[in-house]
Amino acid sequence: MRRISPVLQQDGVDPDLISLLKTILAACREIAFRVSQGELAGVLGSTLAENVQGETQKKLDVIANELLKEVILETGVVKAISSEEEDTIVPGNPRGRFLVTFDPLDGSSNTDINSLIGTIFSILPADANKEADDASQFLQAGTAQLAAGYVLYGPSTMLALTTGKGTRLYTLDKTYGGFLLTEEHATIPKYTAEFAINMSNQRYWQPAMQRYIADLLQGKEGPRGKNYNMRWIAAMVGDVHRVLCRGGIFAYPRDMKDPTKPDKLRLMYEANPMSFLVEQAGGASSTGYERIMDIVPTDIHQRVAVILGSKHEVETCVGYHKTN
Ligand code: F6P
Ligand code: MN
């Protein structure tokens, strides 16, 4: 089985980018170890602090964030980082060629129940004309991403990675200590009969989403003419991983449960990297109204509605959004 560097070299990826990716993965291996130690490592439970998104931080969130921040800035090739757990961007080397955004621990409410969690990251080009502490350098559309991936801390630790030449899956070999290529071309089937959505928010969705899900729930007897199955891991990284492995549609649509926060998922830390991975595996990703990777962010912590997965199913769902 092949290691990461030769695969990326074969794809013609910039050597500095390869070493940056390897550094991020080294931090993820450390996080994987701490996650696997669970209560033994004393990393479960909450801190007393709240992050910028108004959520209580788990100890593991903080640990993962600190680890990633430290090793990424040490590379010297990164001009600044932006993390879901940091209020503001953190400047690095003014001459760095890359910007890194990350969600250090996605699905962190799953930590206390020993369920799926992961780290999501994205790499953007740095603009030589901007200062390292200028947050506006991050406001690039998802189409500008040079690389994106996640590490899933599950029964095995897996990496999904794209540099724009397809999406590949790797598995951490704990005996040798590195990630080995286990799926060369992740391919999301165009059609599916599986959906993932938090149904408890149903009454707060917009009419288009209400109609789409109501039609799925009617199964064989309804307009879609087939029975659908439902899954919900409550960690985007776990739900997207299932979609990459066997297809499906994952949605976190806009809802009016808390009108001050109509969208849940973060564009730069979650939606963009996942959209890049999904599109590179033949799937689609939309807000219902536009392609996620075309959105030019106005704020680093911006949130967005997400509908992604099997192409035909996403297009069908988007179709419902054309009328109100
Ligand atoms: O990061 C936000 C997140 O934890 C996602 O990973 C996940 O898809 C979602 O929130 C879960 O939301 P809910 O708590 O509504 O199930
Ligand atoms: Mn998250």
Position 171 pLDDT exceeds 70: yes
Find tokens 């696997």 and name the residue. 36
Distance CA 304, CA 37 (A): 34
Position 150 pLDDT exceeds 80: yes
* Residue 112: predicted pLDDT: 86
Distance CA 221, CA 219 (A): 5
Position 144 pLDDT exceeds 80: yes
**107 in contact with ligand 1, CB cutoff 6 A:** yes
As a whole number, the mean pLDDT across the chain is 95
* Residue 47: predicted pLDDT: 66
**194 in contact with ligand 1, CB cutoff 6 A:** no
pTM above 0.85, yes or no: yes
* Residue 156: predicted pLDDT: 97
Taking residues 227-243, report their average pLDDT. Answer: 98
Distance 127 CA to ligand 1 centre (A): 32
Distance 62 CA to ligand 1 centre (A): 18
The full set of domain ranges for the chain reads 4-183, 194-322
* The CATH homologous superfamily of the domain defined by 4-183: Fructose-1,6-Bisphosphatase, subunit A, domain 1 (3.30.540.10)
Please tell me the number of the ligand nearest to residue 265's CA.
1
* Residue 48: predicted pLDDT: 58
Render pLDDT for 105-118 as a digit per residue (tens, 0 to 9).
999 889 889 999 99
Distance CA 102, CA 192 (A): 29
Distance 149 CA to ligand 2 centre (A): 13
Q: Which CATH architecture has domain 194-322?
A: 3-Layer(aba) Sandwich (3.40)
**118 in contact with ligand 1, CB cutoff 6 A:** no
Does residue 103 have a known ligand-binding role? yes
Taking residues 69-88, report their average pLDDT. Answer: 97
Closest atom of ligand 1 to 109 CA is 4
pLDDT confidence band for 176 (50 / 70 / 90):
confident
**202 in contact with ligand 1, CB cutoff 6 A:** no
Taking residues 279-292, report their average pLDDT. Answer: 98
Distance 283 CA to ligand 1 centre (A): 21
* Residue 51: predicted pLDDT: 65
Kindly report the protein residue whose alpha carbon is nearest to atom 11 of ligand 1. 234
Closest atom of ligand 1 to 110 CA is 4
* Residue 177: predicted pLDDT: 84
Distance CA 299, CA 301 (A): 5
* Residue 316: predicted pLDDT: 98
Distance CA 137, CA 129 (A): 9
Taking residues 2-29, report their average pLDDT. Answer: 97
Position 19 pLDDT exceeds 60: yes
Pairing of strands 78-83, 98-106: parallel
Does residue 109 have a known ligand-binding role? yes
The residue among 298, 293, 304, 306 whose CA lies nearest residue 138 is 298
Distance 96 CA to ligand 1 centre (A): 33
Taking residues 292-305, report their average pLDDT. Answer: 98
